[in-house]
Amino acid sequence: MAKLYFNYSTMNAGKSTALLQASHNYRERGMRTLLLTAAVDDRRGVGVIGSRIGLEARAEIFRADDDLLALVRDLPEDKKPDCILVDEAQFMTEKQAWQLATLADRDRIPVMCYGLRTDFQGKLFPGSEALLAIADSMREIRTICWCGRKATMVRRMDSEGAVLEEGDQVSIGGEESYVSLCRTHWADKDIGPHHQLQLKI
């Protein structure tokens, strides 16, 4: 039975790398994959999923008002995917998460979503909140805080290195302004000596 999967993490944990590897594994076995990514994410160009280690692939884009169920069902038979992989899934709407669930339940297509769980204020993104509620399987892709403990939160800094507590939930680009932290150091607003040193250089 096909399932809806949610693979979540903080920034720079390798979500896109894992997605591209999963797509490669399917295609290596002669199967078709449909890659989706948020239109708002243009860091490597609109419609491109890229990883920090240099891997990238073209993808279909989705916007908040797109019907993902119709997008897949309207594909010609020879283009129907054996698996759907969604990057930046936190930018989906609740309605879109349910559309993906329908594709898994009714169309028997596995759907693998990859995204951030929370923003820099510790609040759930809309797409992530929906996926945490309805996904069949959830997996945390782990990365570490500067102290060596598991990072579960992310902080955003301004150009001077001051920790931001307000602002837009979505800020594309400027990955150097984000740092993944354990819950303790997130609460303490402690970005660690390495990042503090980088800001001074």
| Catalytic center residues | 88
Q: How far apart are CA 56 and CA 142, in angstroms?
A: 21
Residue 27: CB atoms within 10 Å: 14
Nearest to 190 by CA among 166, 165, 155: 155
The CA distance from 24 to 196, in Å, is 38
Any idea what DSSP says for residue 88?
S
Query: How far apart are the C-alpha atoms of 38 and 87, rounded to whole Å?
Result: 7
